[in-house]
């Protein structure tokens, strides 16, 4: 039973959930007046919605996951979990997360959480991913909604604060995923996904990634421009953005998949640095 529970837990992709929840943290400081208990409950509801999305995605993509080296050892393609069990778990998590966000926040928050699940599973996973190389560009919206869910639960509305956080994650997603898509290009081809490197080529994908990285570096300064954060944060965001963009530029000139994998790793560090700088800025502002 413990082994089975571990497999169910793995389908929720806990490492990804931690990253998603981390991107939602700054909104609590910007909104203000939130108790620790309320914050924890909102984060838990957001995690439930993310777990539902990941589990239903794992259920839907179990056959294509079996054709990729990086995913074939996951519970469903490895036959450690029965497909109907995964489907039932995903649907239960969907209902529970929607009800929980309604209870802890508002009906609006529940609808934002439910829309995230539907968009990720139906629009991105079932429709966009197997049909267009722009899949991750549009589908990236589903991974950027933690700040929206949090603000909706805290205030019952969405302001520029949460939309700016959404925008940072949205712009970060293409260069992040395209880097691993280049590194794993043959696997994505075997799975039948028209990822950007397979359709437009590695060089074009890297150039597009550079454009996104440069726009991201400029966009990430908006919290300072709009008075949500200090210029200390703005400086940190610019430096981090330049560092990320330089690595994407290096991948263009190196033309080696190993460098693209390095860009993928750098992109994760970048996101932690930028959102960590926001949190640090908020902490310093209290003293």
How many residues are present in the chain? Answer: 287
- Give the residue-averaged pLDDT of 245-271: 97
Binned at pLDDT 50, 70 and 90, residue 263 comes out as very high
pTM, entire model: 0.95
- Of 2-6, 92-96, 112-116, the poorest mean pLDDT is in 2-6
Q: What gap in Å lies between CA 271 and CA 147, rounded to an integer?
A: 14
Q: 175-200, pLDDT tens digit by residue?
A: 999 999 999 999 999 888 999 999 99
Mean pLDDT of the chain: 94
Question: What fold is seen in the domain 1-157?
Answer: Tetracycline Repressor; domain 2 (1.10.357)
Q: Spell 244-263 as b/e; 16+ CB within 10 A means b.
A: bbebbbbbbeeeebebbbbb
Which ranges in the chain are annotated with CATH 1.10.357.140? 1-157
pLDDT at 286: 55
Stretch(es) of the chain classified as CATH 1.20.120: 159-287
Residue 265 main-chain phi, psi, to 5 deg: -65, -40
Percent of the chain at pLDDT > 90 equals: 87
pLDDT at residue 127 greater than cutoff 70: yes
Domain 159-287 sits in CATH at 1.20.120
Mind listing the pLDDT tens digit for each residue in 11-50?
999 999 999 999 999 999 999 888 999 999 999 999 999 9
């Amino acid at each position: 039973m413990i082994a089975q529970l571990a497999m169910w837990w793995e389908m929720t992709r806990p490492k990804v959930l931690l990253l998603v929840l981390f991107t939602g943290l700054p909104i609590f400081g910007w909104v203000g007046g939130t108790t620790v208990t309320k914050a924890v409950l909102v984060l838990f509801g957001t995690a439930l919605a993310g777990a539902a999305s990941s589990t239903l995605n794992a259920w839907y993509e179990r056959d294509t996951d079996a054709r990729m080296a990086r995913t074939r050892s996951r519970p469903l393609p490895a036959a450690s979990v029965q497909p109907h069990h995964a489907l039932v778990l995903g649907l239960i998590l969907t209902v529970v997360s929607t009800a929980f966000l309604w209870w802890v926040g508002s009906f609006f928050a529940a609808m934002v959480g439910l829309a995230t699940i539907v968009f990720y599973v139906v629009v991105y996973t079932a429709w966009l991913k197997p049909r267009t190389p722009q899949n991750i560009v549009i589908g990236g919206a589903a991974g950027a909604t933690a700040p929206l869910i949090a603000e909706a639960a805290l205030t019952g509305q969405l302001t520029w604060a949460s939309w700016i956080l959404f925008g940072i994650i949205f712009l970060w997603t293409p260069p992040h995923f395209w880097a691993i898509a280049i590194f794993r290009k043959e696997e994505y081809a075997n799975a039948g996904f028209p990822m950007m490197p397979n359709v437009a080529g590695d060089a074009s994908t890297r150039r597009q990634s550079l454009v996104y990285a440069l726009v991201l570096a400029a966009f990430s300064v908006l919290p300072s421009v709009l008075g949500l954060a200090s210029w200390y944060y703005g400086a940190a965001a610019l430096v981090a953005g330049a560092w990320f963009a330089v690595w994407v530029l290096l991948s263009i000139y190196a033309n080696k998949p190993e460098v693209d994998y390095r860009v993928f790793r750098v992109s994760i560090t970048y996101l932690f640095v930028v959102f960590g700088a926001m949190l640090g800025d908020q902490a310093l502002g209290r003293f």
